[in-house]
């Protein structure tokens, strides 16, 4: 037990073999300093991460507990992130007639900044190695499921205890497949307000046509501000709150970048699989991508068709459309890229290397290779029982992107009271004394809010996509009576849309009018007559039946992966290892660099406003440009933001190693000054979650000079320009 931390520390202290690859743990970046400084870095390790003094880590923001990254740029809590990271916030403030998505928004003063409900911003305070505490709390001899249940419980208990002791937001994550554990200590801010966002013709220029592609000409940024209580502590939204005073913020460079310049990115990458086996890679390539192509492709078509005919739906479903398209493209193109770069075969070759290495000392190493049949068996079961398709379909109809269950969940207290008590108690004189009538009155007071921006016809069509997949893949699950009855209907694969249409027409949770009927007669028999509610109960039964089998297999898989990863670390002990991404603060570094996408082609690492005008097309919405932007370009009115050759920079490429979650990450130069905001990768290297491709993998960033140009010249928001420190 005590050897685990020492092994990990020894491995992490070994020699670095590849520089540009790696999402390095921020608190261990001192291990990379010699190489970074040789490449041009002018800072020390303490300048980047310090638990005792202001450092760059204090200027990095984790959004929404793990979605995107932001970078603070003023002493008053102002921060940048990507346009696509703020799209949900902008959408929440938009309507068909007041369309901030289309037109943009710039608060002329702090009192005009828009509060965004439920948006959070986390700032890292420090990181602590808790590997010994977690592993010593759980006997390694326990059965695998009990072992990982114990690990989870030990993590949760330590999180709760440390949160109580420190008053901070505590998150513990496993690293290297549960071989190491680190505790992240955050300040979690609850009052985050929208400050500015460019129109979609800038922030989403090129749309899903240009997504994941270079050359890119998108001004993918927006601005928020963190507010605190007057004493500087996190607090819920209040008019008494004041702008956050950070320990540090990024200074902004107008010098720009040149080819081969040093760059580093600080951010919160979400998920990678660099220690995966060939079996996991094959699953992502052949099973997950195929399901996403079928199901998400169908949902994208539903949303696009609805948006084309209704401006309100266009606003309400913008975030869903962009999210679905983004990950549909990522997963399907990732599968193609995995074939192109032989990812499965290369991972299989690594497994062969492990076997050969283990054979040199079988008594000590054979345990590392006996894990491979277990891992293979787990993914074989995934295919056999259609766990991917089943869980995906259940998620669609129960959580996302279907919205009817938001309406149902808004009534959860009323539903609980009805199921518990059966019917209102007529003998009670006052409605407040009756739990059912009390909850019904509470729902009646917020009815318009429940159905705000809800579009039942679109929601129903999305529901049908998930329900059709569920019927197709649910197999022999016989303990869900309503689903079982439907599956036995003749030609149900063709007739189920008629059933779903009828269910949506009858359900209490698809319109304000229908829900009022339940509020008039809130009793158990009435509730249980609702077909969508009964299906929801059936889905819970199916979830339980899947997880009873899945959880046992997953525990065996996780234990095998833990041992397999330990074997890789030991086999490659001459290499400095970075753990897979898991929404913890990382630093990666590289250079400004173009690439050859295919034979006979070379992509330069810079784009300019001239390219925006070349792509401009009034017949394609994603290539619309504003008349004012055209006038600024025509007059070359770029102010101090132009390049030395007079062109207006827009985007640039680096070979930094990033993934989803890095969206909005600050891109810094050798002095730690902000030069860009990362927002995308390139389609030619979409297998990057499994394998870094140095010749092809690139990060696409918006040049900070274009960001400032848009704020200053296009938006006339000089109040924001004057707030930032520009060097």
Selected catalytic residue, list 27, 84, 283, 321: 84
Q: 162-189 burial string, b = 16+ CB within 10 Å, else e?
A: beeeeebbbbbbbbbbbbbbbbbbbbeb
Q: Which of helix, strand or coil describes residue 387? A: helix
Domain boundaries, the chain: 278-555
- Please give the sequence-ordered ranges of beta strands (E in DSSP) within 516-668, or none if there are none: 586-591, 606-608, 649-654, 666-668
pLDDT for 96: 84
For 438-486, the three-class secondary structure string (H helix, E strand, C coil) is: HHHHHHHHCHHHHCCCCCHHHHHHHHHHHHHHHHHHCCCCCCCHHHHHH
Residue recorded with tokens 């710039």? 106
Q: What is the C-alpha to C-alpha distance for residues 133 and 189, in angstroms, rounded to an integer?
A: 28
Which positions of the chain have pLDDT values less than 70?
A: 1-19, 426-432, 476-477
Q: H or E stretch including 437?
A: helix 435-445
Known catalytic residue: 220? Answer: yes
| pLDDT, position 7 | 37
Let me know if 680 is a catalytic residue: no
Is-catalytic flag, 136? Answer: no
| 177, 201, 337, 663: the active-site residue | 663
Residue 476 has what pLDDT? 65
Residue 425 has what pLDDT?
A: 79
Out of 210, 220, 331, 712, pick the active-site residue.
220
Residue 440, classified by CB atoms within 10 Å of its CB into exposed (0-12), middle (13-18) or buried (19+), is buried
């Amino acid at each position: 037990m005590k050897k685990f931390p020492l092994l990990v520390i020894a491995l992490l202290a070994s020699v670095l073999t590849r520089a540009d690859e790696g999402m390095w743990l921020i608190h261990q970046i001192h291990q990379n300093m010699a190489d970074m400084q040789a490449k041009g870095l002018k800072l020390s390790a303490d300048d980047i991460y310090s638990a005792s003094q202001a450092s760059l880590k204090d200027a990095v923001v984790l959004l929404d507990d793990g979605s995107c990254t932001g970078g603070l740029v003023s002493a008053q809590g102002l921060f940048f992130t990507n346009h696509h990271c703020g799209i949900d916030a902008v959408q929440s403030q938009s309507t068909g007639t007041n369309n901030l998505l289309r037109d943009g928004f710039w608060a002329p003063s702090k009192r005009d900044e828009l509060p965004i409900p439920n948006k959070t911003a986390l700032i890292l305070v420090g990181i602590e190695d808790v590997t010994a505490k977690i592993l010593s709390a759980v006997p390694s001899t326990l059965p695998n499921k009990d072992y990982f249940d114990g690990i989870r419980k030990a993590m949760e208990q330590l999180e709760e205890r440390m949160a109580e002791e420190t008053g901070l937001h505590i998150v513990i994550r496993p690293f290297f497949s549960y071989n190491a554990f680190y505790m992240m200590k955050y300040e979690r801010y609850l009052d985050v307000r929208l400050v500015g966002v460019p129109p979609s013709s800038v922030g989403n220029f090129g749309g899903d046509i240009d997504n994941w592609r270079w050359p890119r000409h998108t001004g993918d940024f927006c601005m928020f501000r963190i507010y605190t209580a007057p004493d500087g502590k996190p607090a819920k939204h209040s008019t008494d709150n004041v702008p956050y005073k950070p320990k540090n913020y990024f200074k902004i460079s107008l010098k720009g970048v040149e080819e081969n310049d040093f760059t580093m990115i600080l951010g919160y990458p979400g998920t990678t699989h660099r220690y995966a086996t060939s079996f996991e890679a094959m699953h992502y390539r052949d099973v997950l991508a195929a399901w996403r192509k079928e199901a998400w492709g169908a949902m994208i078509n539903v949303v696009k068709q609805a948006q084309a005919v209704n401006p309100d739906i266009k606003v309400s479903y913008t975030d869903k459309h962009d999210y679905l398209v983004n990950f549909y493209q990522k997963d399907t193109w990732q599968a193609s890229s995995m074939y192109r770069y032989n990812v499965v075969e290369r991972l299989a070759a690594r497994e062969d290397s492990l076997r050969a290495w283990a054979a040199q000392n079988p008594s000590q190493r054979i345990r590392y290779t006996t894990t491979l049949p277990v891992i293979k068996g787990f993914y074989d079961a995934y295919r056999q029982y259609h766990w991917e398709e089943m869980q995906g379909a259940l998620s669609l109809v129960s959580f996302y992107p279907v919205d009817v269950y938001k309406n149902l969940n808004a009534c959860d207290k009323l539903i609980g009271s009805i199921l518990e008590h059966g019917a209102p108690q007529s003998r009670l004189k006052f409605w407040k004394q009756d739990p059912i009538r009390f909850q019904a009155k509470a729902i009646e007071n917020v009815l318009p809010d429940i159905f705000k921006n809800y579009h039942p016809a679109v929601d129903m069509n999305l529901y049908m996509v998930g329900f059709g997949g569920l019927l197709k893949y649910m197999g022999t699950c016989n303990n869900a009576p309503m689903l079982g009855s439907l599956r036995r209907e003749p030609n149900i694969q063709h007739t189920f849309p008629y059933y779903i249409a009828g269910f949506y027409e009858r359900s209490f949770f698809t319109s304000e009018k229908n829900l009022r009927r339940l509020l008039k007669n809130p009793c158990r028999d009435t509730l249980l007559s609702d077909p969508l509610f009964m299906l929801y109960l059936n889905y819970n039964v199916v979830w339980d039946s899947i997880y009873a089998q899945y959880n046992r297999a997953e525990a065996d898989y996780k234990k095998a992966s833990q041992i397999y990863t330990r074997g890789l670390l030991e086999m490659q002990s001459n290499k400095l290892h970075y753990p897979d991404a898991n929404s913890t603060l990382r630093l990666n570094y590289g250079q400004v660099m173009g690439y050859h996408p295919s034979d006979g082609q070379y992509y330069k690492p810079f784009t300019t406003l001239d390219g925006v005008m070349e792509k401009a097309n009034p017949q394609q919405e994603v290539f619309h440009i504003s008349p004012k932007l055209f006038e600024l370009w025509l007059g070359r009115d770029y102010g101090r933001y132009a390049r030395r050759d007079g062109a207006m920079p827009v985007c640039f490429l680096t070979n930094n190693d990033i993934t989803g979650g890095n969206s909005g990450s600050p891109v810094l130069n050798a002095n730690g000054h902000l030069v860009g905001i990362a927002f995308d990768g390139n389609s030619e290297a979409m297998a990057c979650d499994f394998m870094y491709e140095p010749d092809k993998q690139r990060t696409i960033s918006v040049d900070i000079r274009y960001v400032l140009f848009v704020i200053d010249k296009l938006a006339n928001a000089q109040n924001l320009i004057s707030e930032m420190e520009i060097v």
